[in-house]
Structure 1
Amino acid sequence: MSALPPSLRAAQMVGIVSAGWISGNIAAFSANVVPGLLRSRREEHYPASSLVKQWRNFFENGRAQNPPIVALSAAAFLYLAWSVRPGSSGASHVPYNSALWYCAAAALTLGTIPFTLIVMNRTNEALAQKAKCDAESVNKDHEEVDRLVRKWKTLNGVRSLLPLLGCIAGVVAIVS
């Protein structure tokens, strides 16, 4: 195998770093933000209406920020898969199965989008509805808000594993 062209090295860096970054970004909400909000509810009697509005703000920020990074990572991995596919000029630079690993990396990273739309949608919608309600009614239903936020935390944590696995698949493509 000869040296990998700089354009492919750059794509490797973009794909792996952006997949790792998006995984960490998503995971931070489940590992840090939501537990902090729930702790404030428990220990400082933070109102459920405030918790759900904070959740909405974090959710909207993530919804605006994350898809372009997911797309960038997946595009880099798909470019790599195409560039090193069997029979291409780039195939001589990489192990035989690299294109398959890059396809897996792209699919796993892109998997955050259907996971959000299919698996998390009902919970996201329920929390978004709570955020629109008046404070008094939300605070009366605080146990339901807490349950929904805990469920969201778990689902979001699972979702964060998809780009992490994409990052790992990208690394395997390089080292296999």
Structure 2
Amino acid sequence: MSAINIAVKIFGLSSAAWLSGNISALSMVSVPAVANIKADSKLSNGHAVRIWEQNFSLGKTQNPPIALASAGSLAFLAWSSRSLRTVTAVGLRSSPLFAVAAVTTIGIVPYTIACMTTTNNQLLAYAEKAKKDDLSVTETEDVDVLLQRWTSLNRVRGLLPLAGAVAAGLAVIA
């Protein structure tokens, strides 16, 4: 096994795991922290949705390129190991496992588009209104529901690269 192959395995597996943690932290730490502060100190929904918007913007610029680089390295490993007939310790060939890892890791992109776009767009629209102090009472009530929905959807999204890291890990222990 070449040093390049080892480096690609380390990068693919660790970047998928990092991506899962980065995404999941928003649902397990950041957005719940905003909800707790909102409940304790009367943080307005306008401010809450603006904080969410900042998290969203950071994630939008960081996560897709990392998912692409990780999935690309995992796809390379699937391709480069396709002719190997060796079976991993878990009884599966490494090539299909790397392929699954690549698909689930980059899966955050279509998942976000298919499942989260409506919620994201609604929250982004409320964030724009909040910048102008223009949220109505009804919209303010919607923010809580939308943040809860986004948190649930994002939890699922965080599982995709985690599945990729697990599949890559299984492929590596050949």
Q: Offset at 1:135?
A: 2.1
3-state SS, counterpart of residue 31 of structure 2: helix
1:135 to 130, 133, 136: 133
2:113 aligned residue: 117
1:168 aligned residue: 166
Map residues 10-89 of structure 1 onto 2, 5 A cutoff: 10-86=7-83
1:149 to 136, 147, 150: 147
TM-score using structure 2 length:
0.92
1:100 to 81, 96, 114: 96
TM-score using structure 1 length:
0.91
Q: Offset at 1:142?
A: 2.3
Deviations 1:53-85 (A, max 9, x none): 111111011000111110111011011011111
3-state SS, counterpart of residue 135 of structure 1: coil
Q: Offset at 1:97?
A: 1.2
Deviations 1:131-150 (A, max 9, x none): 11132425653221011001
Checking the alignment, whether the CA contact within 8 Å between 1:73 and 1:109 is kept in structure 2 is yes
Checking the alignment, whether the CA contact within 8 Å between 1:14 and 1:76 is kept in structure 2 is yes
From the superposition, tell whether residues 68 and 43 of structure 1 become closer, same or farther in structure 2 (CA, over 3 Å): same
Q: Offset at 1:94?
A: 6.6
Identity %: 34
Checking the alignment, whether the CA contact within 8 Å between 2:123 and 2:143 is kept in structure 1 is yes
Distance 1:67 1:136 in 2: 32
For these two proteins, the number of residue pairs brought into alignment is 169
List runs of 5+ in structure 1 lacking aligned partners: none
Please tell me the root mean square deviation across aligned C-alpha atoms, in Å: 1.6
From the superposition, tell whether residues 143 and 149 of structure 1 become closer, same or farther in structure 2 (CA, over 3 Å): same
Distance 1:140 1:40 in 2: 21
